[in-house]
A and B are shown apart, each in its own frame.
Chain A
Amino acid sequence: MILVIPIIVLLLGGCSCWLSASKRFVVCRWIALVAMLAGLVVFSSLAMTYRGGVNGTAWLIDYRVNWIPAIGISFHIALDGLSLILQLLTYFLGTLAVLCSWTEIRQRTGFYFFNLLATIAGISGVFIAMDLFLFYFFWELMLVPMYFLIAIWGDSNRRYASYKFFIFTQAGGLLMLLAILALYFIHGQQTGAYSFGYFDLLQTTIQPSAARWIMSGFLVAFLVKLPMVPLHNWLPDAHSEAPTAGSLILAGLLLKTGAYGILRFVLTLFPEQAAAIASWAMLMGVIGIIYGALLAFAQTDIKRLIAYTSVSHMGFVLLGIFSFREIALQGVVMQMLAHGISTGALFLLAGMLKERLHTREINKMGGLWTLMPAMGGAAMLFTMASLGLPMLGNFIAEFLVLLGTFQVNSTLTTIASIGLVLAAVYSLRMMQSVFLGPLAISGTYRDLSLREWVIIAVLSCSIVVLGLYPQPVMDLVKAALNNIIHHSSGGI
């Protein structure tokens, strides 16, 4: 039950934001902030409680009520370490998203916060839903408000970007729905009990030929979200046009749902098939790493640039997942967290620049360090994080992924490592053309305000802590990952 409360709080908070905004729009951001913090507190306390794990099982909490019993749909949510850590990330970034929208959003504030909170609620639901129907429900639920965030508060080309985002993800989602249905009927015909429950469906044995198709249905949805090259087109547009908080959530959370889906569903429901395509998937991951990096280098729009770095970084996730190694999976989880934080922070910084300079074109920037040393320092930190500097979380992630993958496929890993060099190339280029070099603009610009400073400081601390003391995270997800590996290696 405790798992539902944060989601309900978010939805109620969202509605009250919407309603209260017409009177006092200052109130609604406080409501939003409190709703997010409530979720953060709940999951932090859960994290403290379940630090050591629960004996004998990876599952910490399990809650279930009937929803549409006629066709075997239940409201079944459960929490394991992986979900818990992603929930923490969700509410953490959600809080920051509220904070960073504090002054950026001046129009239609109430509706904005409603959408923001609803998106977070959807994402939060995705990470704990253990009924495939419910999962799909949340999966779609997060899209609509996100679509509004982009379509209403986005930048000049927002319409195109929001369509593209919605259509791409929805296309994947519908194929997943087909796959879910196929799985449901196969399971039902086998056992006579029709159910969408994840744990029930785990018991299904499927014809290999059918399983391949069903898995690809799931995979498409997740790979679009992840995103995998060449299904990544929606991402640069959506990221660059979205408002700052939108980019933060897109990069920090939405992409993670894809990775989570692969981990939770593809690997465990279709172990043999996943193993069969593993090397192809890893290859696609590597292509993503390199391709994203090359494109990131070519961009001149700062948010687009960062968006392509996401493509590159999520390539590591794909690479790691399909190595089926615990080390690599730990790296994947770390990458999800670290990428969420570092890329999120970069988007925040880009948003702050946009707020000040009213452009995203890096050719029009330059030498901003002189004007905004604190922002420059922060940008340097997160740029370094993004290129995988040790001491910061991303390094642990990429290191573990590559280390784990190397044992499986050293050639691909070696090629993937080139991504580290390319990461340096594009990151430094961005840094140079924005903050370094001769001062390209005139006028006075405010450095970080106190609120921004707090946001950046919190993010910086987290990325450093992740880099220097990732062990609690790894302990927390260990049981969950082993569970996944156990299921997936059942077929190998």
Chain B
Amino acid sequence: MQQYLFLIPVLPLAGFLLLALAGKTMSKRAIAFTGTGSVCVAALIAILLCTDYLSGNSGNAVYIQSLWQWFQTAELAVGLTLRVDALSLVFIFIITFVGALIHVFASAYMRADRDYARFFACMNLFVASMLVLVMADNLVLLYLGWEGVGMCSYLLIGFWYETAANCRAANKAFIITRIGDTALIIGIFLLFRELGSLQIPAILDQAPQRFSSGSGAITTIALLLLAGGMGKSAQVPLQTWLPDAMAGPTPVSALIHAATMVTAGVYLIARMHTIFLLSPLAMTVTAAIGSITLIVAGCSAMVQTDIKRILAYSTISQIGYMFLALGVGAWSAAIFHFFTHAFFKALLFLAAGVVIEYLHHEQDIFRMGGLKKQLPLVYYCFLAGAGSLAAVPLISAGFYSKDAILWYAYSAAGGNAIFWIAGLVGAFITAFYSARLVVVVFWGDRKTPVGSPPGRTMTIPLVILAFLSITAGFIEWPHNLLNVHLFSEWLGTVLPATSLRGGHPPEFILQIVAVVITLSGICTGYYLYFRNTAVLAQWKSSRFPAAAREFFFSGWKFDALYNHLVVRPFLFLTGINKRDVFDRLSDGIVTFSKQFNRSLSFSQNGSLRWYVAGVLIGILFIITIQLIL
């Protein structure tokens, strides 16, 4: 199996090249076939790889394939080497499998678009880059994938480039993630300086020997890596790009801004877990950022009216959960949440896409409604996804992953009550807006004229994802309910088990609290948006809730803050120096020379007597010199 490893990223890459170079001449059918086919085959290989891994002899299997030496100098050798272990496999599986489903969906969804080929080219390139990111054997290659997905995200957010706002959103996404990326690359430099290697296994091996726990260097490195992850994964304070990124086509949002790319930060931290484990401070910071993010973004999600923005904020919030889990050392719980989240969030986005298209590109949820009857299949799929998002107990995948995170937030070695409470608040909010979403979009009366219902190419991926959104959680049960821990065992070869601290209450109590909170959140949503909408109307008219809503709606004013703090000073600074102050300097020399020329020219006035005087001056000068010397 090992020798076919390269096919997984190369197939989408080949798809990209074909589409980019020959896309103009291909029929839509051929484009769809190429674009979707390459990812589907890659998914197939990935699944084969998984089965190979499962059936594999070893508990410690790592696939390595070295393609060629990328570059090598005296001190540094970097190879284009793929390395796949259990952690990578999870990601590969999600990227290819969910990616394939989204591609299939998109082949129908984007059919009317003029730049069909460009769309699939970018999507394929994205899949390839993302695969390189998770399969990289060294940090440079990882960074290659890391930047590659950033670029694809940029290209796809700005896919409909003719609208200036879309381009702005794309730029914003790229630049803000770039800030994180730069932190990451500085972290890489630091790692290289300290360890002299950029091979991930070597780093993970040597770090514990080289660094004492909590030393300054390792904390700096960990924080820099974290900053990289924060940029990519849209964590506070670098989260503002993601809601705007919804300007891209919906399948893009589903694939890139929900299922895969935004979780690259999670992958990075999990991948470099040894570094983080050596730095308790960085761990705490990670957890803190996760918890802050999940609340900040959740609050914004509650009040948004654009269906995609709701989902975007919810994505930020859910990734906040993952960071929280990573921060408290619940590695496998974080990855597990990524796993389930990929399914249900992709599902939600795709379903939202169907709804949007069905309503002639209407994205405001308050102009939707009553779709339960028109689109029953989509409704049930969406319901499955929303349920999973809200973590409806036992029957949704989201419950299993979120429950694990909440439990560890309290009980893991790095956890404490504050994180747990933050998680609970987040859970309530999540449940609330999930309910709001379902109720407002699908229930009630129809408000907008509808188009044609979706075809089978679009519904089949929905159904598959809906199925997985419900069942994917069953592979990992809470400890006290059922002894099924397939997922954490799978990852056990890569990630260390979570160590618990002493003195925590029984898991059962915490679970009950969480469930109650979740259900109450759902009920609140149902109550406010369906049963008794008058309360909301009353709130809207009163001052404080309206102000709070406005505050949340604008994403906690982060955009305005950055605008004042960074963008405006930057524009001012560049604006005043547009003409280059040093240019003025050289122009000054020119002006001086010309002035000097003019004053000298004055002596050439044509008067013979003045010329004689000039000779006299010369003589006086010579005599003066003689007198001086």
Contacts and interface: CB of A to CB of B under 8 A. Distances in A.
Contacts of B190: 406, 410
B75 A326 contact: yes
A389 B151 contact: yes
Interface residues of B, number: 55
B422 interface: no
A380 B154 CA distance: 11
B155 to A, nearest CB: 7
Interface in A358-415: 367, 369-370, 373, 377, 380, 384, 389-391, 395-396, 399-400, 402-403, 406-407, 410, 413-414
Contact of A417 (B118, B185, B193): B185
Contacts of B68: 469
Most chain A CB within 10 A, of B73, B140, B168, B181, is at: B73
B191 to A, nearest CB: 10
B300 to A, nearest CB: 25
B185 A399 contact: yes
A interface, by DSSP: helix, strand, loop or mixed?
helix
A403 B162 contact: no
Contacts of B186: 406, 413-414, 417
Most chain B CB within 10 A, of A232, A390, A399, is at: A390
B155 A380 contact: yes
Most chain B CB within 10 A, of A391, A402, A435, is at: A391
Contacts of B583: 233
A365 to B, nearest CB: 13
A478 B168 CA distance: 43
Contacts of A425: 175
Nearest to A435: B161
Nearest to A469: B68
B163 A424 contact: no
B443 interface: no
B185 A297 contact: no
B179 interface: yes
B223 to A, nearest CB: 13
A89 B499 CA distance: 57
Contacts of A327: 73-76
Interface string B187-209: 01110110000000000000000
A438 interface: yes
B74 A428 contact: no
A232 B158 CA distance: 35
Given A403-B76, A471-B69, A390 B167 contact: no
A153 B71 CA distance: 41
Contact of B586 (A233, A377, A437): A233
B167 to A, nearest CB: 4
A410 B70 contact: no
B154 to A, nearest CB: 8
B interface, by DSSP: helix, strand, loop or mixed?
helix
Interface in B89-144: 118, 140, 143-144
A425 B172 CA distance: 9
Interface residues of A, number: 55
Contacts of B625: none
Given A418-B182, A432-B167, A403 B74 contact: no
Nearest to A294: B574
Contacts of B570: 297
Interface in A458-492: 468-471, 474, 478
Interface in A205-260: 229-230, 232-233, 236
A428 B578 contact: no
B597 to A, nearest CB: 15
B333 to A, nearest CB: 31
Contact of A436 (B72, B118, B146, B167): B167
Given A407-B193, A437-B162, A400 B171 contact: no
A420 B193 contact: no
A224 B391 CA distance: 64
27 contacts: A229-B582, A230-B585, A233-B582, A327-B73, A330-B71, A384-B151, A389-B151, A390-B143, A390-B147, A390-B148, A400-B71, A406-B193, A413-B186, A413-B189, A417-B186, A420-B178, A424-B175, A428-B170, A428-B174, A428-B175, A435-B161, A436-B158, A436-B161, A437-B161, A437-B162, A468-B80, A471-B70
Given A429-B171, A471-B72, 11 more contacts: A233-B585, A294-B577, A295-B574, A327-B75, A406-B190, A407-B192, A410-B189, A420-B185, A424-B178, A432-B158, A438-B164
Interface of A: 164, 229-230, 232-233, 236, 294-295, 297-299, 326-327, 330, 367, 369-370, 373, 377, 380, 384, 389-391, 395-396, 399-400, 402-403, 406-407, 410, 413-414, 417-418, 420-421, 424-425, 428-429, 432, 435-439, 468-471, 474, 478
Ordered nearest first, which 7 A-B pairs have the shortest CB separation?
Answer: A390-B144, A406-B189, A298-B574, A298-B578, A436-B161, A230-B582, A424-B178
